């Protein structure tokens, strides 16, 4: 009887949840049925059902091709750089904004750092290419004034990777900091007052109160970011890559576009996508298992 009353009382909430459920069923779970293409020689004439079954043929082709292995390596390298280099920046930004006492200054900085998130990678990529252009870029213009020479930032593998990671941080650091700012509001202010009475400085307060207070949020976001390790954004790579740095810039998403859509090898690209998803699942489960040992896991 009690369960029935709770159900009736929460009908509005369940109704509001229905569009979300429908979205995930239609656009996240239903497309999984198409993964069977990875085990078939798919063609438009026969369709998914009548295309011949080939088992693990496409997976053997993936792991037997040196180019594909290089692409997987590039994907892991760029993703791990994004995670481990870029992950601390939103935390640091949130801590700095939280310490700002002038409201006008805080709002101005927030607006400036949030703004790039709302630009598409077409715009951001164009800005990055313009800034680091060897012929007319602002950076090389200053460099030429100082040293008398320019540097091809976008055509040297090491500097291209640095620009790539830096562009991603610049675009997303402000928006990612919102979550940490929200977590900071949940810390009891009396803890800071007690720490001040005990003579704790600002750094000691951050170390012993602020960071432990948002540690659960940090762990959850880190687990989620590890699940996207194999998913380097197509837009970002496609806008910034060029033929000179293909050896380090060709990743799974761009390869799937070129092979799957432009080359019409749908089965091969689906197999690569399935491999990408499985690696992401394994990483999420593994990292969550480690976090669970410290009572910080998602489940």
Q: Please report the DSSP string for 225-282 in residue order.
A: HHHTTT---HHHHHHH--GGGHHHH--HHHHHIIIIIIS--HHHHHHHHHHHHHHHHH
Task: Please indicate whether residue 4 or residue 34 has the higher confidence score (pLDDT).
Answer: 34
Spatial CB neighbours of 186, under 8 Å, sequence gap ≥ 6: 213
Is residue 264 assigned to a domain? Answer: yes
Inform me whether the pLDDT recorded for 152 exceeds 60.
yes
Domain total in the chain: 1
Is residue 9 assigned to a domain? Answer: no
Is residue 182 assigned to a domain? Answer: yes
What is the per-residue pLDDT across 20-59, written as a single tens digit (0 to 9) for each? Answer: 999 999 988 888 888 888 899 888 888 888 888 988 888 8
Nearest to 284 by CA among 265, 299, 270: 299
Is residue 19 assigned to a domain? Answer: no
Domain that holds residue 179: 36-292
pTM of this prediction? 0.81
Inform me whether the pLDDT recorded for 2 exceeds 80.
no
The CATH number of whichever domain residue 132 belongs to comes to 1.10.3720.10
What is the per-residue pLDDT across 82-121, written as a single tens digit (0 to 9) for each? Answer: 888 988 999 999 988 888 888 888 889 888 888 899 998 9
Please answer whether residues 140 and 132 qualify as being in contact, where contact means their C-beta atoms are separated by less than 8 angstroms: yes
Residue-averaged pLDDT of the chain: 86
What element of type H or E holds 89?
A: helix 88-99
What element of type H or E holds 197?
A: helix 189-197
What is the per-residue pLDDT across 176-200, written as a single tens digit (0 to 9) for each? Answer: 898 898 888 888 888 888 888 888 8
Nearest to 214 by CA among 179, 175, 169: 179
Task: Please indicate whether residue 283 or residue 171 has the higher confidence score (pLDDT).
Answer: 171
In this prediction, residue 294 carries a pLDDT of: 67
Is residue 21 assigned to a domain? Answer: no
In this prediction, residue 161 carries a pLDDT of: 92
Burial of residue 199, with CB atoms counted within 10 A of its CB: 0-12 exposed, 13-18 middle, 19 or more buried: exposed
What is the per-residue pLDDT across 217-240, written as a single tens digit (0 to 9) for each? Answer: 888 888 888 877 777 778 888 889
Q: Please report the DSSP string for 130-141 in residue order.
A: HHT-TTT-HHHH
Is residue 286 assigned to a domain? Answer: yes
Spatial CB neighbours of 137, under 8 Å, sequence gap ≥ 6: 130, 131, 153
Cα dist. 212→141, 177, 208, 225, 292 in Å? Answer: 44, 17, 6, 20, 16
Is residue 27 assigned to a domain? Answer: no
What is the per-residue pLDDT across 260-299, written as a single tens digit (0 to 9) for each? Answer: 778 778 888 888 888 888 888 888 888 778 777 767 666 6
Is residue 171 assigned to a domain? Answer: yes
DSSP-derived secondary structure letter, 87 = T
What is the per-residue pLDDT across 121-142, written as a single tens digit (0 to 9) for each? Answer: 999 999 998 999 888 888 888 8
In this prediction, residue 18 carries a pLDDT of: 92
């Amino acid at each position: 009887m009690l369960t029935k009353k709770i159900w009736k009382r929460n009908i509005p909430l369940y109704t509001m949840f229905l569009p979300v459920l429908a979205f995930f069923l239609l656009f996240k779970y239903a497309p999984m049925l198409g993964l069977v293409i990875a085990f078939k020689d798919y063609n438009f004439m026969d369709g998914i059902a009548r295309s011949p079954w080939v088992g693990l043929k496409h997976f053997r082709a993936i792991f037997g091709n040196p180019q594909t292995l290089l692409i997987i390596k590039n994907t892991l390298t760029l993703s791990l750089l994004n995670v481990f280099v870029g992950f601390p920046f939103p935390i640091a930004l949130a801590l700095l904004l939280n310490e700002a006492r002038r409201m006008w200054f805080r709002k101005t900085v927030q607006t400036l750092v949030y703004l790039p998130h709302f630009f598409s990678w077409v715009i951001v990529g164009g800005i990055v290419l313009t800034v680091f252009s060897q012929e007319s870029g602002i950076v090389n213009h200053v460099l030429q004034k100082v040293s008398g020479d320019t540097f091809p930032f976008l055509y040297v593998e090491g500097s291209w990777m640095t620009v790539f990671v830096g562009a991603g941080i610049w675009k997303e650091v402000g928006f990612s900091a919102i979550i940490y700012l929200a977590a900071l509001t949940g810390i009891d202010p009396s803890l800071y007052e007690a720490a001040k009475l005990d003579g704790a400085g600002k750094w000691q307060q951050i170390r012993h109160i602020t960071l432990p207070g948002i540690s659960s949020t940090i762990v959850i976001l880190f687990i989620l970011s590890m699940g996207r390790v194999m998913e380097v954004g197509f837009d970002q790579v496609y806008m910034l890559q060029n033929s000179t740095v293909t050896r380090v810039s060709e990743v799974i998403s761009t390869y799937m576009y070129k092979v799957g859509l432009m080359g019409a090898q749908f089965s091969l690209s689906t197999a690569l996508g399935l491999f990408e998803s499985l690696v992401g699942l394994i990483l999420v489960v593994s990292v969550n298992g480690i976090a669970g040992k410290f009572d910080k896991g998602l489940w």
